[in-house]
A = this chain, B = another copy of it.
Amino acid sequence: MSESVICGIPYKDFLIRVEEFHGYRSPGILLGGIMVENALRELGPTPYLNVVTETVVCLPDAVQLLTPCTIGNGFLQILDWGKFALTAYDRMTLNGVRVWLNYERMADYPLINSWFDRSTENRQKPVFEEIAKEILSATSNLINHRSVRLYRALKISQRKPTGLCPKCGESYPLDHGPTCTSCQGEAYYE
Chain B residues contacting A24 (CB-CB under 8 Å) are 73
Chain A residues with a Cβ closer than 8 Å to the other chain, count: 68
A107 interface residue per 8 A CB criterion = no
A4 interface residue per 8 A CB criterion = no
Determine whether the beta carbon of A71 is less than 8 Å from that of B82: no
A54 interface residue per 8 A CB criterion = yes
A57 interface residue per 8 A CB criterion = yes
Chain B residues contacting A82 (CB-CB under 8 Å) are 160, 162, 172-173, 176, 180-181
| Known contacts A100-B170, A150-B188, A164-B103; A56/B83 CB under 8 A | no
Complex interface bits, A44-86 against B, C-beta within 8 A gives 1, otherwise 0: 0000000010101111111010001011111100110111110
When C-beta atoms are compared, the residue in chain B nearest to A85 turns out to be B170
A93 interface residue per 8 A CB criterion = no
Determine whether the beta carbon of A72 is less than 8 Å from that of B62: yes
Determine whether the beta carbon of B172 is less than 8 Å from that of A98: no
Determine whether the beta carbon of A159 is less than 8 Å from that of B83: no
A118 interface residue per 8 A CB criterion = yes
Determine whether the beta carbon of B74 is less than 8 Å from that of A21: no
Which of B64, B170, B188 lies in contact with A72, CB distance below 8 A?
B64
Which of B103, B156, B180 lies in contact with A81, CB distance below 8 A?
B180
A27 interface residue per 8 A CB criterion = no
**4 closest Cβ pairs, A-B complex:** A61-B72, A148-B189, A82-B173, A81-B181
